[in-house]
Structure 1
Amino acid sequence: MIKLYIADDHNIVREGLHLLFNQPQFQVIGESGDGETACREIRELMPDVALLDVSMPKKDGIEAAREIKQQHPHMKVILLTIYTDEKFLVEAMRAGADGYVLKTIGRLELFEAIEKVLLGERFIDPSLTKQALLHVIHSTSPEANLLSKREKDVLQLMAKGKTNKEISSELFLGTDTVKEYVTNVIKKLSCKNRTEAVAKAIRNQWI
């Protein structure tokens, strides 16, 4: 069973999420309406996934996510928001959030987001991904220019939370080839892992 914690300053949103997660595979173990309370209770309750509203009193969701990830790097944090502005997405990535979804997301997509972050992948709302990431920006950064076109294609799909197998299928490449591309991207961007590479690429608008 997946243990969830919900933080949102609107009661109706929390109630709606409770109903949404009234499923055998989920258990909501706590909730709050502000960031400070959320951080304190999350430390005590240790959920598998924390769902945080970006805009909350006392401490916003991005700052709460940063604090939670610093204290518990392996805990998964998904930010819920009404904001489509790319700057909020970038700040969320910098804070270490594992997922970033709009409140208009569908039930099955939200379940998919939870599943993906628990597998160690990053999930960005598909509509936001299309808006923020698919307009390729030609950067003058030496690091970004080191990437081949195919490596940039792979990086874009990494940013969408795709697994190596999914990237392989979408680009019609062998899984070993995709793995090599992912390794090259991480190395060329001087990063430790794919999550760091994606966050760096988004932050610098290389994709």
Structure 2
Amino acid sequence: MISKKDISIVIADDHPMLLKGLYDELTIHNYQVTGKAANGMQALEQILTLEPTLALLDIDMPLLNGFEVIKTASEKKVSTKFIILSFLKETKYITQAKKLGIDGYLLKEDSFFEIEKCIREILQGNSYFSKAIDSSSLQNASEELKKLQFLTPSETTILKLIAQQISTIEIADSLFVSKRTIEKHRSNIISKLELGKETNTLTKWTLNHKNVILEL
């Protein structure tokens, strides 16, 4: 296990007291906090400049959210491992985290003991999700991603447009096909995703998973 003094960390949260509390806990436990950020843009700049061992990020931040920071940093091929530290534990956020291949996902209600456990696990090459996240949420997130893999390129394109709240007629016009063709695609997508037959079930599902869908 790498020594704590050799673990550099960037932390980011737009709540000053939470940011200070996390900084204090990490430094008390002998971790090297090399950067603090109050918004996503600052966090991205520090990660790209400092290339810390770890970055602990909130999701809901100004300018860039935590997921956007991780996506951009990953595209730049930084070696930093990422841990989300958030109040959000709904399946759609867990799904997006899994889609991005995020190393760790913790809740702000977790103890520092669990933060340290997460750090140890991901530095050993494992992923770690908070024990407070219901196992069914993790399972559901994995199942949602599996279902999306069955969509054809055309269905994926249409799903992205639906997620942007574009109507069936507008989608048909933009793709130069008939409304009936789009309706057939919608029916196939509903079947592959195993959604119910309720009115607007596909639209509701895509809005709940919008961030993941737009990354397909």
TM, length-normalised to structure 2:
0.60
* Alpha-carbon displacement from aligned partner over 1:74-105 (angstroms, at most 9, x marks no partner): 31000111112011011112122111111111
Aligned to 1:106: 111
Amino acid at match of 2:125: G
Alignment RMSD (CA, Å): 2.7
Q: CA deviation at 1:124?
A: 0.5
Equivalent-residue separation in structure 2 for 1:8 and 1:24 (angstroms)? 20
Equivalent-residue separation in structure 2 for 1:6 and 1:34 (angstroms)? 10
- Specify which of 75, 79, 97 is matched with residue 74 of structure 1: 79
Amino acid at match of 2:101: G
User: Is the contact between residue 91 and residue 138 of structure 2 (CA under 8 Å) also seen in structure 1?
Assistant: no
User: Is the contact between residue 3 and residue 29 of structure 1 (CA under 8 Å) also seen in structure 2?
Assistant: yes
Structure 2 unpaired stretches of 5+: 150-211
- Specify which of 106, 122, 129 is matched with residue 124 of structure 1: 129
Q: CA deviation at 1:67?
A: 1.3
Amino acid at match of 1:44: T
The structure with the largest alpha-carbon Rg is: 2
- Specify which of 51, 54, 67 is matched with residue 49 of structure 1: 54
User: Is the contact between residue 51 and residue 79 of structure 2 (CA under 8 Å) also seen in structure 1?
Assistant: no
Q: CA deviation at 1:120?
A: 1.1
Amino acid at match of 1:86: T
Structure 1 unpaired stretches of 5+: 144-202
TM, length-normalised to structure 1:
0.62
Equivalent-residue separation in structure 1 for 2:23 and 2:99 (angstroms)? 29
